[in-house]
A and B are shown apart, each in its own frame.
Chain A
C-alpha cells in the first residue's frame, strides 16, 4: 500500500513529461484547416500576363477547372521559404498530371513576374491575389501553402510550408491520384 502510493507522484511526473514531450514535437505552425473536405472557394482573379502563357484571357475563374483535380500553390516573391520550394515545383511540374495554379499572394505584379522569369515558371496559370482576399477565403495564414482540389471542387489536402520532394511524393501526388480515382467512379 505504502509502496504503491509512494509511486503516484512519479507516475504523474512521467505522464506530464510524456505529454510535454509530445507537445514539443508538434509543429505549432501547422494549424489543421477546417476547409479539408469542403468546397474550395470560388474566385475570379486577374492573371499575371506571362509571355509563355498561351491563354490570352485576362482573368482566371476557378470554376474553369471543374471536373479535374488541380493544385493551388500560394506563393510570393517576398517569401523566403518560397525560394526553397520553387526548384521542387519546377522539377515536378510535368509529373503532376494536373494543372498547378500559382497564386501570387499579396505581391507586386512586377516582382512576381520577375521572380517567374528569373527562376522559371512551374505553373500552368499564375494569378494575382493583390489584396489577399482569396488567400483569406482559403484560410492562408502564411506562404507558401499548397492545396489539392478534386474534380468536384472539394479541397482534399492542404500543406503548409515549403513543398519538398518528400511532400510531393508522399502527400500531393497520392492526393491527386486519389482524387482522379474518385473522379473516375
Chain B
C-alpha cells in the first residue's frame, strides 16, 4: 500500500519535473545557428525585410509578453508587445546580436522576459530542482524494490491468507468443541 503510493507519487513528481524542466533539446541550437547566418547575411548587404522578420520571429518566440504573460512576444497582440517587437526589429536592423537584444530587454524587464532563465544563484533551484526530484524518485523506487525482495521469502512460507485460514479453522474447531461440551452437559 505504502509502496504503491510512493511509486505513484514518484511517477507524478517525475512527470511534473519533466514539465518544469525547460526543454534544452528544443530548437535553441538550430535557431542560434540560423540567426547567426542571418545576421552575417544582413551585414553582407543582402539584408532583406524577410530575413529581419524571420529573425524577429525566432528571437521573440523566446521572449515573454509582459502584459499577457502566457504568450510569447512573437504571438501577442498586446500594444506593448507590438512596441517591443518594433524595438527588437530596429535593433536587428542595427546589426545587434541576439545576446545584445536580450540584454537590452532584461535590463528593463528583468529575467522574467526570457522563457529560458539564466544560470544564476537565484535560478539554481529551477535548473537543478527537477534533477533532485528525479534522484529522489529513483531512490524511492530502488528502496521499494529492495524491500519487496526481502518480503518475498517469508511471504511464501506463511502467506497472510493461509494464516487467516488457520485462524478460521481454529475458531470453527473451538465452536464445535463448545457445542459438543454443551450437548454432553444436557
Write the residues of chain A forming the contact surface with B, with a CB cutoff of 8 angstroms.
5-6, 8-9, 12, 28, 31-35, 106, 131-133, 135-139, 141-142
Contacts and interface: CB of A to CB of B under 8 A. Distances in A.
B6 A9 contact: yes
Nearest to A33: B110
A132 B110 contact: no
B121 to A, nearest CB: 15
Interface of B: 2, 5-6, 9, 66-67, 69, 79-80, 83-84, 87, 106-112
Given A5-B2, A9-B5, A28-B69, A141 B80 contact: yes
Contacts of A136: 83-84, 87, 108
B2 A141 contact: no
A141 B106 CA distance: 13
Nearest to B83: A132
A-side interface mostly? loop
For A28, A136, A142, the residue with the greatest tally of chain B CB atoms inside 10 Å of its CB is A136
Nearest to B147: A5
Contacts of B83: 106, 131-133, 135-136
A79 B112 CA distance: 24
A136 B67 CA distance: 13
User: Closest 9 A-B residue pairs measured CB to CB?
Assistant: A141-B66, A139-B108, A34-B110, A132-B83, A31-B112, A139-B109, A9-B5, A6-B2, A9-B9
A106 B107 CA distance: 21
